[in-house]
Amino acid sequence: MKNLFRIAGLMLLLGSGWAVAQEAYVYPHFAEVQEPVRLPGGSWTWFPDADLSRSLVDGTVRLLGVKELRRVWRNGTITFFYGGSGDARLAYLTRNLLYGLYYDLDVDTGALVGWAKVRNGLGRPLALRQLTFVAGEVPLRSGAAPVMAKSVRSMPLDAMAEEAAPVPQFSGSGGGVYRYVLKNPPVLEPGVNELPFLRGATEPVYTWRYRGGFALGKLLELTRGYTFEAPAELAAGLVNLRDHGVFLGQTMLRDSAKGAQVQLWLGADPEGKATRRISVLKDERKEKAYRVVTVVENPRELPVRVEFEEFFNARETTLKLPAGAERTPRGYRFVFALRPGEQRTFAYTVNLRY
């Protein structure tokens, strides 16, 4: 009688079109799904449908919790042989469940929201107890598993998660990846599902930057962007920037540890310019020397952070820098702030030997 109730419950789930799984670890190009199973002694047969079979990654189907002895793929089924019985987990990698991520940053409020776009290509809703987004470079080199004939897929009898989902919590980094865990997520419908995976508060600072080689020209154009301290571990992704509802542009965020400085660059600023006066102190074939005076003015009504990072291409470089500037292996770096309407002049001398 107990088995009859179990079969009836399974048929009810099949008829509803739901695919129930306990956990999914979703990567940018694939996912690992883990489903609870109750194993009889000795062997158990799995009936994946044709769409899932075609998406399986070769060499990644396994049973967790028992000692596997062998597997047989035959006529649309996979039969597992193992020692023991009882509760276990069926795990497999599928290319039909994947995600991409992006961020929205409101620079006026500092609100940062990370969004995961989960593509469910399994052909049915997927209800999970736990959804983990794994961010970072995770190579996948094996191909698809053997294609099998269409058949009915077995399912465990777990309650479906239907409650509204909270924002995932960062669960740590390991093996070179970041993990964000979402408990009791909403059902992942077939198609693309967008879920927030991170909400953080930042303090973006408007920034001008010059980064390049030594320039003899009288005018330097500065790149505009925003810098802030990462409020959490941030996985690499596209960022949409807005200021009081106005779209400022898109740029890419690199993987950033919590507390690291994030730099988002958007391109040229019509007002972001620096003027230079260059005096030649020595001009010989194998040695040249210059005195460089740079002037930067902030015409904006808000403060601006300014970064100069200049490189010199010479066999030997000798620099005399202004206070606050730091020497780098190939040149110097100088960072300072300008109040609204403020002007800053700094000078350095450089001797280049070729």
Based on the fold, state whether residues 166 and 261 are members of the same structural domain: no
* pLDDT (average), residues 154-168: 33
Domain-located, residue 42: yes
List C-alpha distances in Å: 222 to 124, 217, 246, 297, 309: 51, 14, 22, 12, 11
Based on the fold, state whether residues 34 and 181 are members of the same structural domain: yes
Domain count, the chain: 2
Question: Which amino acid would we find at residue 20?
Answer: V
The 10s digit of each residue's pLDDT in 231-286 is 988 988 999 999 999 999 999 999 888 899 999 999 999 999 999 999 999 999 99
CB 13 within 8 A of CB 158: no
Q: Work out the mean pLDDT of the chain and round it to a whole number.
A: 85
Q: Please tell me the distance from the alpha carbon of residue 43 to that of residue 72, in angstroms, as a whole number.
A: 11
Based on the fold, state whether residues 217 and 345 are members of the same structural domain: yes
Q: Considering the chain, what percentage of its residues have pLDDT values greater than 70?
A: 84
- Sheet of strand 67-74: strand arrangement: 43-46, 77-83, 67-74
Based on the fold, state whether residues 246 and 156 are members of the same structural domain: no
Question: Which amino acid would we find at residue 290?
Answer: Y
What is the pLDDT at residue 51? Answer: 87
Based on the fold, state whether residues 287 and 251 are members of the same structural domain: yes
* pLDDT (average), residues 196-202: 92
Return the SS3 of 21.
Answer: strand
The 10s digit of each residue's pLDDT in 291-339 is 999 999 999 999 999 999 999 999 999 999 999 999 999 999 999 999 9
Helices assigned H by DSSP within the chain: 2-16, 50-55
What is the pLDDT at residue 137? Answer: 77
* pLDDT (average), residues 190-205: 94
Question: Which amino acid would we find at residue 199?
Answer: R
Q: Which domain holds residue 144?
A: 2-97+120-190
CB 139 within 8 A of CB 177: no
The last residue of a domain, from among 165, 190, 215: 190
Q: Please tell me the distance from the alpha carbon of residue 333 to that of residue 59, in angstroms, as a whole number.
A: 50
What is the pLDDT at residue 17? Answer: 38
Based on the fold, state whether residues 128 and 246 are members of the same structural domain: no
Strands 19-26 and 126-135, bridge-based pairing: parallel
Nearest to 132 by CA among 24, 36, 234: 24
Nearest to 173 by CA among 257, 113, 262: 257
Based on the fold, state whether residues 278 and 151 are members of the same structural domain: no
* pLDDT (average), residues 103-116: 96
Residue 131 pLDDT exceeds 50: yes
Q: Please tell me the distance from the alpha carbon of residue 64 to that of residue 58, in angstroms, as a whole number.
A: 17
The last residue of a domain, from among 161, 190, 219: 190
How many angstroms from the chain centroid is the CA of residue 123? 26
What is the pLDDT at residue 175? Answer: 59
* pLDDT (average), residues 49-66: 92
**Least confident window among 44-48, 142-146, 232-236:** 142-146
Nearest to 180 by CA among 20, 27, 22: 27
CB 231 within 8 A of CB 202: yes
Based on the fold, state whether residues 335 and 239 are members of the same structural domain: yes
Q: Please tell me the distance from the alpha carbon of residue 228 to that of residue 230, in angstroms, as a whole number.
A: 6
Q: Please tell me the distance from the alpha carbon of residue 1 to that of residue 41, in angstroms, as a whole number.
A: 20
CB 136 within 8 A of CB 235: yes
The last residue of a domain, from among 159, 190, 221: 190
What is the pLDDT at residue 223? Answer: 96
Nearest to 304 by CA among 227, 225, 207, 210: 207
- Sheet of strand 219-229: strand arrangement: 316-320, 343-353, 287-297, 261-283, 219-229, 205-213, 304-311, 331-338, 326-327
Based on the fold, state whether residues 230 and 329 are members of the same structural domain: yes
Q: Please compute, for residue 351, the number of CA atoms within 13 A of its CA located in the half-sphere on the CB side.
A: 4
| DSSP secondary structure string for all residues of 188-220 | B-SEEEEEEEEEEE---EEEEEEEEE---SSEE
